[in-house]
A and B are shown apart, each in its own frame.
Chain A
Amino acid sequence: MSQVTDTRTAISVQDVSVAFDGTEVLRSLSLSLEQGGRLGILGPAAGGKSVLLKLLVGLVAPDAGRVHILGTDISRGKEKTLMRVRRDVGMLFQNYALFDFMTVGENVAFPLARLGETEDDEIADRVSARLKAVGLAGSEAKMPSELSGGMKKRVGIARATIARPALLLYDEPTAGLDPVTTSKMYELIAADQADTGCTVVAVSSDVGALMNFSTELALVHEGSVRYRGPSHAISKSEDALVRQFVSGDDAGPL
Chain B
Amino acid sequence: MSVHTRIEGLGARAIAASHAGARLFVIGAKSLRGVFDRDYPKGEVARQMYVVGNKSLLFIAITMGFLGMVMVIQSGHQLNRVTGDLSQLGPQFLKLFIQEFAPTITALMLSTRVGAGIAAEVGSMKVTEQIDALRLSGITPTSYLIAPRLLACLSMGSILTVIAIVIAFTAGGISAWSVFGLNPTAFFDSSMVRTYDIVIGSVKALSYSLAIPIISGFCGLEARGGSEGVGTATTSAVIGSSFAVLLLDFMISGIGLMVFGGGV
Chain A contact residues, CB within 8 Å of chain B? 54, 57, 59, 79, 83, 86-87, 89, 91, 93-100, 110-111, 114
Contact = CB atoms under 8 A, between A and B. Distances in A.
A59 B128 contact: no
Contacts of B129: 93-97
19 contacts: A54-B132, A83-B138, A86-B135, A86-B136, A86-B137, A87-B138, A91-B136, A93-B133, A95-B128, A96-B129, A97-B128, A97-B132, A99-B133, A100-B125, A100-B128, A100-B130, A110-B137, A111-B137, A114-B139
Contacts of A54: 132
A148 B134 CA distance: 22
Contacts of A57: 136
Given A86-B137, A98-B133, 6 more contacts: A59-B135, A83-B138, A86-B138, A93-B133, A97-B128, A100-B130
A111 B137 CA distance: 6
Contacts of A98: 130, 133
Main secondary structure on A side of the interface with B: mixed
A160 to B, nearest CB: 9
Interface residues of B toward A: which range? Answer: 10 to 19
Interface of B: 125, 128-130, 132-140
Contacts of A96: 128-129
Most B CB contacts (10 A, CB to CB) among A87, A94, A96, A97 go to A97
Contacts of B140: 79
Contacts of B135: 59, 86
B130 A89 contact: no
- Which 8 A-B residue pairs are closest in the complex by CB-CB distance? A97-B129, A97-B133, A93-B129, A114-B137, A83-B138, A95-B129, A59-B132, A97-B130
A57 B136 CA distance: 7
A183 B129 CA distance: 26
A86 B133 CA distance: 11
A110 B139 CA distance: 11
Given A93-B133, A97-B133, A99-B133, A114 B138 contact: yes
A86 B137 CA distance: 7
A79 B138 CA distance: 9
A162 to B, nearest CB: 11
Contacts of A91: 133, 136
Contacts of B134: 99
A111 B134 CA distance: 9
A208 to B, nearest CB: 26
A249 B203 CA distance: 68
A213 B138 CA distance: 30
Contacts of B128: 95-97, 100
B179 to A, nearest CB: 49
Nearest to A102: B41
A89 B132 CA distance: 13
A100 B134 CA distance: 12
Nearest to A94: B129
Nearest to A171: B129
